[in-house]
Structure 1
């Protein structure tokens, strides 16, 4: 910790001395980013730059929890389309269903969730059909979107 500014010494002189002594001790030698340009040098000024940086460093979301879960459900549908085994399909759906069921029990903040759990057996059946129809490649798209039957639909059907 630095010492207090002595009376009768100007702030500039005192601050300069503190910096010089810190440099001599090597306090600035191993700082992250030393010798590199500032990352935000070519970006327009944003008054909330520090808030956005903090959220990014902490891994916080800009979205309300209900919208994050909707996105996770969409990502699960895409992951199922790319899955190579039935076991993996079941794992993906079980993981997202667990989150959806928890959110139904205790609704998150933000807009309404409007999700209900996926029917695992129906998702697996649709995955098998697409896989058989595409020669086993497993990339048959995102399923029957908007049908409301909660196989691999888009998740916008009313929650039960």
Structure 2
């Protein structure tokens, strides 16, 4: 166990000394990732970057980390691509109605986080877009 920091010694000096001693003992040799470049900064803080990497490494969608208002906004933006993969008009309508139900629920329940600025999706317009995308492919 490491000894306690002596009095009248700065915390920074004490920590640096502990690191130097560990390095001299070889405790940092052969660590995972040794010799590999650090990940490029994303502009987030280190903790956020770590969480994002771990979520992606686990095969999960990072959208789950968004506040509810932003998650709904992203879902509306991604809706055309999601609908394009559907095979039936009935399923397209079900997806749009489900999204609209969740948007209504969010407006009624005043979600925490940034303000909700998402409009309901026009089901008829979504179906027409879906038809056009199917005809074009």
Q: 5+ unaligned residues in a row in structure 2: which ranges?
A: 7-12, 56-61
Q: Which residue number in structure 2 is paired with residue 20 of structure 1?
A: 24
Alpha-carbon deviation of 1:103? 0.8
Whole-angstrom CA distance in 1 between matches of 2:86 and 2:18: 66
Contact 1:66 1:112 in 2 (8 A): yes
Whole-angstrom CA distance in 2 between matches of 1:6 and 1:110: 44
Structure 1 residue 105 corresponds to structure 2 residue 104: no
Matches within 5 A, 1:58-73: 59=62, 60-61=65-66, 65-73=68-76
Whose radius of gyration is greater, 1 or 2?
1
Whole-angstrom CA distance in 2 between matches of 1:104 and 1:92: 19
Alpha-carbon deviation of 1:116? 2.6
More helix per residue: 2
Alpha-carbon deviation of 1:118? 4.7
Query: Larger relative CO (CA 8 A, sep 6+): 1 or 2?
Result: 2
Provide the alpha-carbon RMSD of the alignment. 4.0
Q: Which residue number in structure 2 is paired with residue 39 of structure 1?
A: 39
TM-score between both structures, scaled by the size of structure 2: 0.55
Q: 5+ unaligned residues in a row in structure 1: which ranges?
A: 138-160
2:85 corresponds, among 80, 83, 86, to: 83
TM-score between both structures, scaled by the size of structure 1: 0.49
Whole-angstrom CA distance in 2 between matches of 1:28 and 1:18: 10
Contact 2:72 2:118 in 1 (8 A): no
Aligned length: 119
Alpha-carbon deviation of 1:93? 2.4
Q: Which residue number in structure 2 is paired with residue 53 of structure 1?
A: 49
